[in-house]
């Protein structure tokens, strides 16, 4: 019988995963997996658990949670050199990375996918030689909403809560100057925000880059330049429609190496997020680590 580690965050999303837990274990055991269960109870305990059990060489790891939980698990897998293939149950609010891969959350479908054994090897972002992200590194307008939003508000409105809070930020936010370096060039620009994307979406926006791939060794860099608020509103409509990359207010390129430096000494503009979690202060130097984590896919 093969060994499987199931890690779940009971506080993610609408907290409904617990109702599927028994059915999932049943289906995984039917698929000939011995299920080892870990329930997260406090900040930091997932990292501690993976560090304790990484030597057991599980045949599969399954995680249930949102993008933040995915970040914690994949980062810990990288730090502990865990090579087990991973399945992500989208149990959070946005579930950007799992949504990009079209991963189902129904217990029977999950067990079938794992039993079939089809996988893809995903790139990972290494930031300042110490931290990791699997979906996005970001800074600026809208990018810190997941840390600042009230959990009860998010529980009631779900993904819509991100958009409501984003609109609250808009009138108060000032663009900030940055220096952006990739493997070919360096540029300086004043921007509202930037995204370094592995998949094609973030914050529930699913089509930010039609060419995005998690297995091509490249990140998609997207930044919105400073412009009038009225022009910004028009640009956001184009972003929602997925037709904006040729807009003069957008910086877009694809590369495996990206460095972003803030040109203003203000901590508000130096803060970054990694998959929605608190990241390091700028400057950030980002390297694509190709084919680093194996993920089960339909």
* Token pair of 89 as six digits: 């149950």
User: 224-243 in b/e burial notation, b at 16+ Cβ within 10 A?
Assistant: bbebeeeebeebbeebeeee
* CA gap 12, 118 in Å, rounded: 27
Sign of CA dihedral 198, 53, 131, 280: positive
Measured CA to CA in angstroms, residue 280 lies from 139, 253, 267, 270 at distances of 10, 23, 11, 8
Sign of CA dihedral 47, 287, 278, 222: negative
Give the tens place of pLDDT for each residue, 88-98: 999 988 898 99
For residue 247, count other CB atoms closer than 10 A to its CB.
16
* CA gap 106, 38 in Å, rounded: 19
Over residues 100-108, the mean pLDDT reads 96
Under a CB-based contact definition with an 8 Å cutoff, are residues 166 and 174 in contact?
no
Architecture of domain 131-290: Sandwich (2.60)
What does pTM read for this prediction?
A: 0.87
Per the DSSP assignment, residues forming a β-bridge with 147 are none
Q: Please give the CATH number for the structural domain made up of 2-117.
A: 3.40.50.10330
Domain span(s) for CATH 2.60.200.40 in the chain = 131-290
Q: Is the peptide bond before 283 cis (omega within 30 degrees of 0)?
A: yes
Per the DSSP assignment, residues forming a β-bridge with 290 are none
Percent of the chain at pLDDT above 70?
Answer: 86
φ/ψ of 242, rounded to 5, equals 75, 20
Least confident of 23-37, 111-125, 201-215: 201-215
Measured CA to CA in angstroms, residue 136 lies from 29, 171, 203 at distances of 34, 25, 10
Q: How confident is the model at residue 85, as a pLDDT?
A: 98
Under a CB-based contact definition with an 8 Å cutoff, are residues 32 and 1 in contact?
yes
Q: How confident is the model at residue 204, as a pLDDT?
A: 63
Higher pLDDT, 247 or 104: 104
* CA gap 196, 254 in Å, rounded: 9
* Token pair of 287 as six digits: 């390297």
Least confident of 175-189, 194-208, 218-232, 252-266: 194-208
Measured CA to CA in angstroms, residue 147 lies from 48, 142, 150, 154 at distances of 22, 11, 8, 11
Sign of CA dihedral 133, 139, 142, 148: positive
Domain span(s) for CATH 3.40.50.10330 in the chain = 2-117
Alpha-carbon radius of gyration of the chain = 19
Give the tens place of pLDDT for each residue, 5-43: 999 999 988 888 999 999 999 999 999 999 999 999 999
Sign of CA dihedral 98, 276, 246, 122: negative
For residue 244, count other CB atoms closer than 10 A to its CB.
20
């Amino acid at each position: 019988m093969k060994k499987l580690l199931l890690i779940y965050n009971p506080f993610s999303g609408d907290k409904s995963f617990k109702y599927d837990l028994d059915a999932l274990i049943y289906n995984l055991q039917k698929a000939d997996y011995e299920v080892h269960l870990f329930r997260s109870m406090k900040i930091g305990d997932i990292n501690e658990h993976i560090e304790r059990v990484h030597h057991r060489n599980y045949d599969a790891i399954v995680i249930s949670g949102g993008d933040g939980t995915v970040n914690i698990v994949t980062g810990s897998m990288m730090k502990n050199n865990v090579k087990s293939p991973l399945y992500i149950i989208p149990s959070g609010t946005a579930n950007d990375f799992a949504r990009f891969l079209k991963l189902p959350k129904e217990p029977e479908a999950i067990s079938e996918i794992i039993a079939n054994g089809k996988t893809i090897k995903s790139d990972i972002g290494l930031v300042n030689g110490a931290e990791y992200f699997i979906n996005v590194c970001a800074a600026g307008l809208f990018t810190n909403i997941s840390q600042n939003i009230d959990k009860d508000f998010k529980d009631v409105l779900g993904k819509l809560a991100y958009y409501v809070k984003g609109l609250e930020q808009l009138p108060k936010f000032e663009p900030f100057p940055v220096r952006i370096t990739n493997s070919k060039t360096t540029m300086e620009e004043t921007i509202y925000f930037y995204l370094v994307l592995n998949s094609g979406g973030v914050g529930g926006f699913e089509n930010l880059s039609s060419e995005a791939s998690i297995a091509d060794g490249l990140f998609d860099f997207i930044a919105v330049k400073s412009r009038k608020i009225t022009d910004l509103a028009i640009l956001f409509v184009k972003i929602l429609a997925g037709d904006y990359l040729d807009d003069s207010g957008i910086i877009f390129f694809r590369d495996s190496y990206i460095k972003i430096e803030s040109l203003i000494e203000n901590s508000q503009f130096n803060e970054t997020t990694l998959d929605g979690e608190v990241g390091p202060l700028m400057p950030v130097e980002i390297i694509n680590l190709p084919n680093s984590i194996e993920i089960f896919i339909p």
